[in-house]
Chain A
Amino acid sequence: MDIPVSEFLGFLNLNWQIVVMLAVGGLLIYLGTAKNVEPVILIPIGTGILLANIPLSGLVDEGGLFAVLNKAGIKTELFPLLIFIGIGAMIDFGPFLERPYTILLGAAAQFGIFGTFFLAYMLGDGWLHIMNFSLNDAASIGIIGSADGPTSIYVSSVLGSKYAAAIVVAAYSYMALVPIIQPPIMRWMTTKEERRLEMPITVGLVTRKTKIIFPIATVLIVGLIAPKATPLIGCLMFGNVLRECGVVERLSATAQNELTNIVTILLGLTVGGMMIASEFLNPETILIFVMGVVAFALDTAAGVFLGKIMYLISGKKVNPLIGAAGISAFPMSARVVQKMGLQENPHNHLLMHAVGANTAGQIASVVAGGAMLMLIPLFS
């Protein structure tokens, strides 16, 4: 009897691409556990990569676990939206509402999204044709600059990019690398005098009424101008209303804990499950990771640039460093700003100002994602 052993023995189907992906999965689990790099998301993603790349496991085939999760949670955009409810319930917009001007820093720092989109499109179908990047792919690559995993997943899946998995992994990985990417740019763009500038600390200037009205008004304004951003901003602000209204503490706690934890597990496994060797290992993926660094660098530079303009216009009252926190990598970039401010001047506590810019960046990145979703179909 002729037994087709290669059809049921997994190791007989191994090739170098699969081995590389198994190593990548192992590396992400190592970074999460041993180095504490974004463990909550990297451990599920790493495990998903391991499982999806075991030959003949059937997890990614029609009806397999990852195929079902992908269809139910990513293609429907359900998982990122549910995560946004949890994020909204965790965010305190107080520091931001106390310093409304920081919203402009959040806006400026979204330049990384559009600048990277432009570069990716020029490398692809727009001009050089070096890479296989369509307009939709370029927009999805640009959205890495939102420095926000759920927004990256949402936009790239709505645009139907074939690089969604790489984009999401890049977005999450670089968020963890913010303390490495941002400081050199911040230092290069500012003078010692600017970095040393102290800003006053004020706390508790926002009423509960303002905190409740703000998310509702924001949904209406953003939704009516950029309707494509409504699902994201709607879920974010719904979570925030649960937090701030003060009468549904159970729901707020569930959104912050159980809901976020369950969806994070499912989302991480599914994203990992999308990283199959045959589709993931190609030059485009490597370039997407390079573009991710460019996106974060442009975000930082644009934020600091506007910070410098504010420094001049305000008569040296705004420390330009807080512009770097306009990137929505929350709360890492705010911590980076605080650390650099303290290094230059031990009395310089920029944290609350930076947190304001950071939460502004969260809203701005959602608006930028919505703008991208509005504009791409117009030019396709």
Chain B
Amino acid sequence: MLDALWIVLLGMAIVFAVLGILLGMMILLNKLSKPNKTD
């Protein structure tokens, strides 16, 4: 049972960690590449 709990905790931690980094990357991308009239 403890193993399964670890998998749940680590699994959600991995998902949030990876997507958290993706969030940072997206914010950075949006800041670096602002739309202009031609876009």
Contact = CB atoms under 8 A, between A and B. Distances in A.
A225 B14 contact: yes
A226 interface: yes
Contacts of A135: 3-4
B27 to A, nearest CB: 5
B21 A221 contact: yes
A164 interface: no
Interface residues of A, number: 47
Contacts of A364: 15, 19
A372 interface: yes
Nearest to B29: A210
Contact of B11 (A121, A138, A206, A368): A368
A376 B14 CA distance: 13
A213 B29 contact: yes
Interface string B1-39: 101111110111011111111110111011001110001
Contacts, number: 113
Chain B residues touching A, majority SS:
helix
Interface in A72-122: 97, 100-101, 103-104, 106-107, 110-111, 113-115, 117-118, 121-122
A221 B22 contact: yes
A123 B19 CA distance: 31
A307 B12 CA distance: 17
A113 B12 CA distance: 9
A187 interface: no
A101 B18 CA distance: 14
Interface in A115-134: 115, 117-118, 121-122, 126-127
Contacts of A113: 11
A319 to B, nearest CB: 19
B19 A103 contact: yes
Given A107-B16, A222-B18, A372 B6 contact: no
Contact of A114 (B8, B34, B39): B8
A375 B18 contact: no
Interface in A325-380: 360, 363-364, 367-368, 371-372, 374-376, 379
A221 B7 CA distance: 21
Nearest to B16: A107
Contacts of A204: 35, 39
B18 A379 contact: no
Given A113-B11, A114-B7, A214 B26 contact: yes
A360 B15 CA distance: 12
Interface of A: 97, 100-101, 103-104, 106-107, 110-111, 113-115, 117-118, 121-122, 126-127, 135, 138-139, 204-210, 213-214, 217-218, 221-222, 225-226, 360, 363-364, 367-368, 371-372, 374-376, 379
